[in-house]
């Protein structure tokens, strides 16, 4: 019985080890600091739907543990979307196109919708999405 348990353990360890290697090799870790809340004056670019703005201030990004930038997109009169520009494949900085309203990754060609959802690999996961709330003349970003 003890031998069977040990065999089972080793079998599971091999499976877990394989999964871990897969994660390390193909996916950027999401290590955003949880529980952070920052409120910003609403940038001019976000005053109308379709507008976008990128948070590049290192002191704000450091609070979230963000290694790229935080992209804000005014998706409607009443809502803003906030996503990390760190590609979930291997961490390159994705770039937003106003023409296509999509992000593209210059490293291996992944594409994402403005809300961060994957359209095309190499990335398999959506961009990290922060909570964003419009509060009159300010916007609150939370992790
Ligand atoms: Fe590979 Fe973005 S880092 S597709």
Report CA(121)–ligand 1 centroid distance (Å).
8
Token look-up 């998706």 returns 75
Return phi, psi of residue 86, to 5°.
-90, 115
Q: Which of 85, 87, 104, 118 to mutate to test the pocket of ligand 1 (most atoms within 8 A of CB)?
A: 87
Determine the length of the chain: 143
Return phi, psi of residue 53, to 5°.
-155, 145
Identify the domain containing residue 3 by its residue range: 1-30
> pLDDT (tens digit, 9 = 90+) per residue, 85-125?
999 999 999 999 989 999 999 999 999 999 999 999 888 99
- Residue 69 has a pLDDT of 94
Do 8 and 63 reside in the same domain of the chain? no
Tokens of 86: 């760190």
> pLDDT (tens digit, 9 = 90+) per residue, 6-60?
343 333 333 333 333 333 334 566 678 889 999 999 999 999 999 999 999 999 9
Indicate which residue's Cα is closest to atom 3 of ligand 1: 90
Contact 96, 103 (CB under 8 A): yes
Dihedral, 72, 120, 111, 51 alpha carbons, nearest 10: -40
CATH number at residue 91: 2.102.10.10
Do 129 and 119 reside in the same domain of the chain? yes
Contact 70, 130 (CB under 8 A): yes
Tokens of 5: 């348990």
Report CA(128)–ligand 1 centroid distance (Å).
14
Quick check: CB of 127 below 6 Å from ligand 1?
A: no
How many domains would you assign to the chain? Answer: 2
Residues contacting 2, CB < 8 A, separation 6+: none
- Residue 58 has a pLDDT of 95
Do 138 and 105 reside in the same domain of the chain? yes
Say how far apart CA 120 and CA 109 lie, in whole Å.
8
Do 76 and 135 reside in the same domain of the chain? yes
Report CA(42)–ligand 1 centroid distance (Å).
30
Q: Which of 83, 86, 123 to mutate to test the pocket of ligand 1 (most atoms within 8 A of CB)?
A: 123
Q: Which of 30, 94, 108 to mutate to test the pocket of ligand 1 (most atoms within 8 A of CB)?
A: 108
């Amino acid at each position: 019985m003890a031998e069977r348990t040990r065999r089972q353990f080793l079998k599971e360890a091999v499976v877990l080890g394989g999964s871990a290697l897969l994660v390390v090799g193909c996916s950027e870790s999401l290590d955003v600091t949880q529980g952070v809340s920052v409120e910003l004056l609403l940038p001019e670019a976000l005053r109308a739907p379709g507008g976008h703005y990128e948070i590049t201030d290192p002191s704000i990004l450091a609070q979230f543990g963000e290694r790229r930038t935080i992209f804000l997109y005014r998706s409607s009169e009443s809502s803003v979307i906030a996503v990390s520009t760190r590609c979930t494949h291997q961490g390159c900085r994705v770039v937003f196109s106003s023409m296509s309203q999509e992000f593209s990754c210059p490293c291996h060609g992944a594409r994402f919708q403005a809300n961060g959802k994957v359209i095309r690999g190499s990335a398999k996961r959506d961009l990290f999405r922060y909570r964003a709330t419009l509060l009159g003349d300010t916007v609150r970003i939370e992790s």
